[in-house]
Amino acid sequence: MQEGCGKPDLSHGIVMKNFLPLLCSTSLFNGLTPEELQTLLAQLGAVMRSYGKGEALVLAGEPNRRVGIVLSGELEAYRPGPQGARIPITHMEPGGVFGDVSEKKDARRVAVRCMKECIDVGHAAGATFAPVQGKDLTKLFYYKNGFKRAIAELLVPIAMKKHRAIEPSMLQDLKKGKPCEIDAINGVVCEWGRKCGVPSPINDRIVEIVKKEQAGELPLEEKNIRFFDDLL
């Protein structure tokens, strides 16, 4: 069985307008107006595809860098069971979000808010931001409204695509039980935030969590993202 590529709808630009209210109600685009979403979809190069009954969209264990939203019909996810049986995992109806970008949504929100705090503090302190890999992060990830924030959150997995296989040095230190450089990175943002009167709650929480992980008070696991729930 191969991953289904579906049939592209050549009239998707016109047809997609009919689905804007549905798309705006999804967890991925909630808070955007239909006009803002239409602009965002055009910038992202969104396309509509049709799949036949029983056709596979994504196979478990295979790399996937796409995100999809069910516009009509139903989608079922399952894992293989004994003797070729299919064990249902989830069932999606119109509005259901699936794929790589929909995963770890809270982590993307934390990352974008962390970067915004860094930029806010930097501006207040009179810092100049150097380009990163030729990109101006202040233009890519800074936002003042929900529309720009949504774009920033969607850009995170795209920007990190080349670095997925690289394990951050701080994480390597934590795994080895060695002191990490949290105070010299996020800690600096918190320190200058206090000096400049700019709140940095996300960076404050990052420092707090990492120090607890370093001290063995918290296990080193992705589920620790839940400690940001009250800030998102």
Average pLDDT of 98-107? 64
Sign of CA dihedral 63, 69, 70, 76: positive
Residues 77 and 126 in one domain: no
* Domain-embedded: residue 85: yes
User: What is the rounded average pLDDT for all residues in the chain?
Assistant: 80
Sign of CA dihedral 11, 17, 21, 26: positive
Domain that holds residue 86: 7-99
Residues 227 and 115 in one domain: yes
Alpha-helical segments (H) within the chain: 12-15, 20-24, 34-44, 105-125, 137-140, 146-159, 169-176, 186-196, 201-214
CATH of the domain at 49: 2.60.120.10
pLDDT tens profile 159-184: 666 666 677 888 888 888 888 999 99
Residues 164 and 213 in one domain: yes
- Burial of 83 per CB tally in 10 Å (0-12, 13-18, 19+): exposed
Q: CA-to-CA distance for 163 and 80, rounded, in angstroms? A: 31
Residues 16 and 129 in one domain: no
Residues 82 and 143 in one domain: no
CATH of the domain at 225: 1.10.1040.10
Looking at residue 132, what is its pLDDT? 76
* Domain-embedded: residue 149: yes
* Domain-embedded: residue 147: yes
Amino acid symbol at 146: G
Q: How confident is the model at residue 136 (pLDDT cuts 50, 70, 90)?
A: confident
